[in-house]
């Protein structure tokens, strides 16, 4: 009788070889997948993907105060079937029809840990995409993680991008591979996004980096880095009001897939929250004209990872009339100098929508290289559009020709 | 030469902007003949009564706190002000809630003190917002709920390409009368080209579609079960409690049916307990769930609840889920549901209940029809699913209808011996 089995298991999760009995899905040969519960905090170091030692109390607090609030992310324990021991975790983040998967297994187990992750991957891919109707699943894999790459391929995932030298593994740099799995019925309805050609404009050749501009006098107020025509400085409260106003004056529709209305209060709230962090994951700068001090745009680093020393770059010029004049590239090279020379980043990446050929051409001119694609990221023209990925190594940027000042 | 900004810098700080009527200058979209639309900013707190969609008076300080602490964290809802061009007075607001990357819901609120003029401004705002969100921002669909007596706004919405796909009867209360509420949707025509018109997708119906008698009210002999709120012949409803979490988590892992919702979910006990506790803390809860337990042994077999309870208009949405597969399809669900309906109509004094069912879940739809619910229409393209977007069928049930339904009779002197099998045929 089923209810007896239920009673037996309640509160008896540690009974060896019992935890998966009756589970109807997400059960593999060696492992099964359970939601994270508070008692899993006791063995947190086996499943928490953190480089820092965290006590069971800290992890229990994270479970009951943080984990339960995040409705877009699901945390699961990877449990070894023979003895119900938690040996790793799977995190699924659902956003806009994409399920992102992160897998972690306690590295102290060595080779079996890779195998368990592979088994978890194949269980979760079919559950999330075929049963729970995510349009696609995406995972980032280290290029030297051969067991998991094989498991991803065996599950029908395809490599969509290679970002060079993202990970720092035991003193060497390792590429990051993006793998995606697409729902078969959506492939039938929309066609294969891997076959959509990337439109290109521009020369594709890297240009030169503007030279450091010697200062005739004092630097502009609060400047962090200074170029010939533009400088970058921290954001100020009033900048957000200007951004909000100019977002209402935007005339270009296509490259953003529609104009957005930004409020100053929301812009300031997210920036000030980030500035309070000891190690920020997002560093935005105001790009200003040296001639007038006027703020003309934003350049930023986000998704900053200090351990592996990579980040993503972004830039935006607020007024249509400032675009196409090289201000954006001037400001971008100041941002790259900040990223590589001050923060010590090893590599940066950038992504643009396929339709945004102008930004893609600008990235190539700034020295970035094409790295692949992320598919079906946004609705456009009655289908889902793709993003192009780019990367740029610090060494490549340093080797670009410098213009004389 | 670089063009210069075409408005004075002082315009950037509205507190110091001395020239009313210049607020829309330079704005290139969402500007109409008499109103324009811009984001809500902190200084709008001073006139919160004109745009905040709240029943209760809120001071500018309270609205400012809401803007600073709540609004800025709502990543999936954008709040916009509807502003009169002539003098930059805020006359209302629009909010757009995003649900995944398919569904978008628009709500409008114009200060009712402006009377008919306010409705005209709302009617002007609708087509601008529809065009911006659907055609320019490329969202697959935009839906709006509208009181059926708002004719001017309705006509503007229909002219902007929205279609009426459902009518919830008597959902709203206005000046002592009950008013229907319409569901309006504009589908992105490019998406219709790609995946077809969802209105041509037929709803599959199973069962007879006939309502069945309600189990009669029961007088309990002896003591009620522990902590019971509503008691039926075979089941009773009691508040959810901490220990239910473990069972719910265990049963979620045993689920073999995938059609109720979009696939199975693994629920953790810790989050079930968290959300239950949170819902029960509210003074006027909007989320009220019960555990359904067997009278014979007090085992929990399912959950029923009312959600999104609106105490002003006295409506709510009902939901139920039987975690125990071995108790599905044998009348326990309907028995528990009628206890919930009695609670909602007679204890909470609600006037109307609605229910939303995912198209493939024909069994739940058939159960609702048996319980007396009527089809109110449909809402298309709520979820992305296997190469298309999925539709929901909508139901409503009025208190008077439920009260007028025939009651089955208990046979036997104690009232507890057996239910006449009115539905046996």
d(CA A128, CA A125): 5
Nearest to B338 by CA among B309, B318, B361, B363: B318
User: A96 pLDDT exceeds 70?
Assistant: yes
Give A369's DSSP letter. Answer: E
DSSP B4: P
Residue A134 has pLDDT above 70, yes or no: yes
Distance CA A294, CA A230 (A): 10
Q: Phi-psi region for residue B170, left (φ > 0), alpha (ψ -120 to 50) or beta?
A: left
Angstroms from A398 CA to nearest CA on chain B: 31
B54's CB contacts (< 8 A; 6+ apart) are none
Q: What is the predicted pLDDT for the residue at A215? A: 76
**Which of B271, B327, B292 lies closest to A3 in space, CA to CA?**
B327
Tens digits of residue pLDDT in B156-205? 999 999 999 999 999 999 999 999 999 999 999 999 999 999 999 999 99
- Please give the C-alpha separations between residue B288 and each of A405, B248, B346, B361, in angstroms, as whole numbers: 69, 17, 15, 23
A·B CB contacts under 8 A:
187
Per-residue confidence (pLDDT) for residue A1, from 0 to 100: 28
What is the arithmetic mean of pLDDT over A2-25? Answer: 53
Q: CA of A187: which chain B residue's CA is closest?
A: B387
Q: B-contacting residues of A 110-129, CB under 8 Å?
A: 127
When pLDDT is averaged across residues B262-285 and rounded to a whole number, the result is 90
Distance between CA atoms of residues B110 and B97, nearest Å:
18
Question: Whole-angstrom Cα distance, residue A121 to residue B215?
Answer: 49
What would the pLDDT profile of A24-67 be if each residue is shown by its tens digit? 999 999 999 999 999 999 999 999 998 899 999 999 999 998 99
List the single range of B11-15, B67-71, B398-402 with lowest mean pLDDT. Answer: B11-15
Instruction: Note the pLDDT tens digit of each residue in A204-243.
Output: 789 999 887 777 788 999 999 999 999 999 999 999 999 9
Dig out the tokens for B51 from the structure.
Answer: 């745009």
- Whether the per-residue pLDDT at B4 is higher than 60: the answer is no
Residues of B in contact with A34 (CB under 8 A): 253, 266
Q: Does the beta-carbon distance from A67 to B271 stay under 8 Å? A: yes
- pLDDT reported for residue B11: 42
Q: What is the pLDDT of residue B6?
A: 41
CA distance B326 to chain A (A): 9
- CB–CB of A281/A302 below 8 Å? yes
Of B189, B102, B146, B143, the C-alpha closest to B384 is B102
Segment holding B126, helix H or strand E? helix B115-130
pLDDT tops 90 at residue A16: no
Residue A285 has pLDDT above 70, yes or no: yes
The label of the residue with tokens 């706004």 reads B153
Q: What is the pLDDT of residue A255?
A: 67
pLDDT for res B329:
86
Question: Best mutation site among A263, A318, A319, A328 for testing chain B: the one with the most B CBs within 10 Å?
Answer: A263
Q: Which of A23, A258, A265 sits opposite B42 (nearest CB)?
A: A265
> How would residue A17 be classed by pLDDT, with cut points 50, 70 and 90?
low
Q: What does pTM read for this prediction? A: 0.90
| B289-311 core/surface letters (b: 16 or more CB in 10 A; e: else) | bbbbbbbeeebbbbbbbbeebbe
pLDDT at A14 over 80: no
- Mean pLDDT (chain B) is 90
Contact B195, B387 (CB under 8 A): yes
B413-425 confidence digits (pLDDT tens): 444 433 433 333 3
Which of A8-22, A72-86, B216-230 ranks highest by mean pLDDT?
A72-86
Cα A182 from Cα A136, distance rounded (Å) = 4
Chain A CB contacts of B190 under 8 Å are 381-383
Nearest to A231 by CA among A191, A189, A291: A291
* Distances A187 to A100, B194, B346 between C-alpha atoms, Å: 18, 12, 51
B387–A186 CB contact, under 8 Å: yes
Q: Which of B70, B266, B361, B383 to mutate to test the interface with A (most CBs of A within 10 A)?
A: B266
Q: Looking at beta carbons, which residues of chain B come within 8 Å of A383?
A: 190, 194
Instruction: Please tell me the distance from the alpha carbon of residue B216 to that of residue B224, in angstroms, as a whole number.
Output: 17
Of the pLDDT bands very low, low, confident and very high (cuts 50, 70, 90), residue A187 is very high
Coil vs helix vs strand at A57: helix
Pairing label, strands B410-411, B418-419? antiparallel
The upper half-sphere exposure of residue A345, i.e. CA atoms within 13 Å in the direction of its Cβ, equals: 28
Strands (E), A65-119: 73-80, 85-95, 98-105
pLDDT for B24-38, tens place per residue?
999 999 999 999 999
Cα separation of the two ends of chain B: 86
In the prediction, which pLDDT does B223 show? Answer: 92
Q: Given a cut of 70, is residue A251 above it in pLDDT? A: yes
**Which of A63, A74, A78 lies closest to A20, judged by CA?**
A78
Longest CA pairwise span in chain A (Å): 86
**How far, in Å, CA of B102 to CA of A133, rounded?**
13
Q: Cα–Cα distances in Å, from A76 out to A33, A52, A62, A386?
A: 6, 20, 14, 29
Judged by a CB distance cut-off of 8 A, whether residue B42 touches chain A is yes
B359 SS3 class: coil
Helix (H, G, I), strand (E, B) or coil at A53: coil
Q: What is the dihedral of CA B321, B326, B331, B332, to 10 degrees?
A: -60
3-state secondary structure (DSSP) of residue B361: coil
Q: Distance between CA A119 and CA A148 in Å, rounded?
A: 9
- What confidence score (pLDDT) does residue B101 get? 66
- Cβ-nearest to A133 among B101, B189, B384: B384
Please, are residues A44 and A54 in contact by the beta-carbon 8 Å criterion? yes
Bridge partners (DSSP) listed for residue A141: A177
Contacts of B331 (CB under 8 A, 6+ apart): none
SS3 B249: helix
Helix, strand or coil for residue A74? strand
Residues A356-373 pLDDT 10s: 999 999 999 999 999 999
Check residue B219 and give its pLDDT: 85
Q: Confidence class of residue A405 from pLDDT cuts 50, 70 and 90?
A: low
pLDDT digits (tens, 9 = 90+) for B128-155: 999 999 999 999 999 999 999 999 999 9
Least confident of B9-23, B83-97, B284-298, B368-382: B9-23
> In 3-state terms, what secondary structure has residue B70?
helix
Mean pLDDT of all residues in A134-160: 97
What are the backbone dihedrals phi and psi of residue A122, each rounded to the nearest 5 degrees, phi first? -70, -35
CB atoms within 10 A of CB A319: 18
Give the DSSP letter string of A239-278: HHHHHHHHHTT----GGGTS-----HHHHHHHHHHHHTSS
Percentage of chain B exceeding pLDDT 90: 79
ipTM: 0.87
pLDDT at B421: 35
Q: Do A64 and B324 touch (CB under 8 A)?
A: no
Q: Which residues of A touch B11 (CB under 8 A)?
A: 245
Flag whether pLDDT at B308 surpasses 60.
yes
With an 8 Å Cβ cutoff, is B77 touching chain A? Answer: no
How confident is the model at residue B258, as a pLDDT?
Answer: 84
């Amino acid at each position: 009788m089923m209810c007896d089995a239920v009673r037996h298991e309640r509160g008896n999760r540690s009974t060896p070889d019992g935890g998966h009995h009756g589970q109807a899905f997400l059960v593999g040969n060696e492992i099964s997948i359970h939601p994270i519960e508070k008692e899993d905090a006791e063995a947190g170091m086996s499943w928490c993907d953190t480089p820092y030692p965290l006590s069971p109390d800290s992890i229990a607090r994270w479970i009951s105060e943080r984990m339960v609030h995040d409705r877009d992310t699901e945390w699961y324990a990877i449990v070894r079937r023979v003895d119900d021991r938690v040996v790793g975790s799977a995190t699924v983040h659902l956003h806009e029809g994409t399920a992102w998967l992160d897998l972690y297994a306690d590295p102290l187990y060595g080779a079996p840990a890779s195998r368990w992750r592979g088994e978890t991957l194949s269980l979760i891919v079919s559950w999330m995409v075929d049963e729970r109707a995510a349009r696609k699943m995406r995972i980032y894999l280290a290029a030297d993680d051969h067991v998991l790459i094989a498991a991803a391929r065996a599950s029908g995932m395809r490599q969509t991008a290679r970002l060079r030298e993202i990970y720092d593994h035991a003193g060497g740099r390792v590429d990051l591979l993006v793998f995606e799995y697409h729902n078969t019925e959506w492939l039938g309805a929309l066609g294969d996004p891997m076959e959509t050609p990337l439109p290109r404009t521009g020369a594709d050749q890297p240009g030169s980096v503007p030279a450091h501009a010697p200062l005739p006098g004092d630097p502009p107020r609060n400047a962090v880095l200074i170029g010939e025509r533009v400088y970058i400085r921290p954001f100020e409260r009033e900048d957000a009001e200007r951004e909000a106003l100019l977002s209402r004056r935007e005339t270009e529709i296509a490259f953003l897939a529609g104009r957005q209305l930004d409020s100053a209060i929301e812009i300031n709230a997210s920036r000030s929250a980030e500035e309070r962090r000891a190690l920020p994951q997002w560093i935005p700068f105001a790009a200003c004209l040296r001639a007038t001090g006027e703020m003309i745009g934003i350049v930023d680093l986000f998704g900053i990872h200090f351990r592996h020393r990579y980040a993503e770059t972004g830039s935006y010029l607020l007024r249509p009339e400032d675009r196409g004049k090289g201000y954006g590239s001037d400001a971008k090279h100041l941002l790259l100098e900040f990223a590589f020379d001050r923060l010590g980043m090893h590599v940066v990446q950038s992504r643009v929508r396929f339709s945004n050929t102008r930004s893609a051409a600008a990235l190539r001119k700034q020295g970035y290289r094409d790295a692949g694609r992320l598919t079906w990221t946004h609705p456009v023209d009655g289908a889902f559009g793709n993003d192009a990925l780019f990367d740029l190594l610090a060494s490549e940027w340093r080797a670009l020709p410098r213009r004389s000042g | 030469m670089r063009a210069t900004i075409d408005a004075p810098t002082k315009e950037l700080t509205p507190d110091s902007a001395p020239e009313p009527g210049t607020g829309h200058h330079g704005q290139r979209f969402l500007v109409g003949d008499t109103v324009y639309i811009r984001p809500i900013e902190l200084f709008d707190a001073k006139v919160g009564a004109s745009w905040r969609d709240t029943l209760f008076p809120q001071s500018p300080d309270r609205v400012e706190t809401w803007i600073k602490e709540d609004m800025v964290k709502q990543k999936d809802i954008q709040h916009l002000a509807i502003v009169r061009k002539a003098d930059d007075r805020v006359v209302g607001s629009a909010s757009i809630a995003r649900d995944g990357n398919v569904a978008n819901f628009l709500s409008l609120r114009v200060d009712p003190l402006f009377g008919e003029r306010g409705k005209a401004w709302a009617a002007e705002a609708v087509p601008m917002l529809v065009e911006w969100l659907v055609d320019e921002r490329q969202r697959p669909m935009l839906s709006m709920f509208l009181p059926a007596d708002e004719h001017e706004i309705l006509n503007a919405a229909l002219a902007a390409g929205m279609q009426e796909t459902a009518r919830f009867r008597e959902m709203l209360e206005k000046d002592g009368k009950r008013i229907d509420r319409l569901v309006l949707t504009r589908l992105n025509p490019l998406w219709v080209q790609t995946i077809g018109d969802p209105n041509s997708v037929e709803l599959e119906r199973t069962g007879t579609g006939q309502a069945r008698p309600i189990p009669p009210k029961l007088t309990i002999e002896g003591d009620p079960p522990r902590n019971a709120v509503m008691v039926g012949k075979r089941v009773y409803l009691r508040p959810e409690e901490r220990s239910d979490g473990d069972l719910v988590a265990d049963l979620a892992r045993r689920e073999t049916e995938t059609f109720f919702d979009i696939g199975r979910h693994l629920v953790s006990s810790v989050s079930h307990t968290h959300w239950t506790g949170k819902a029960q803390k509210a003074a006027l809860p909007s989320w009220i769930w019960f555990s359904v337990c067997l009278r014979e042994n007090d085992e929990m077999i399912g959950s029923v609840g009312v959600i999104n309870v609106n105490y002003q208009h006295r409506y709510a949405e009902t939901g139920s889920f039987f975690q125990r597969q071995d108790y599905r399809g044998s009348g326990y669900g309907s028995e528990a549901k009628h206890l919930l309906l009695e609670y909602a109509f007679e204890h909470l004094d609600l006037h109307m209940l609605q229910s939303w069912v995912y198209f493939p879940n024909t069994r739940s739809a058939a159960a609702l029809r048996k319980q007396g619910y009527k089809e109110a229409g449909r809402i298309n393209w709520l979820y992305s699913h296997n190469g298309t977007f999925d539709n929901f069928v909508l139901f409503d049930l009025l208190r008077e209808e439920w009260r007028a339904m025939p009651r089955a009779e208990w046979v036997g002197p104690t009232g507890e011996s057996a239910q006449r099998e009115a539905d046996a045929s």
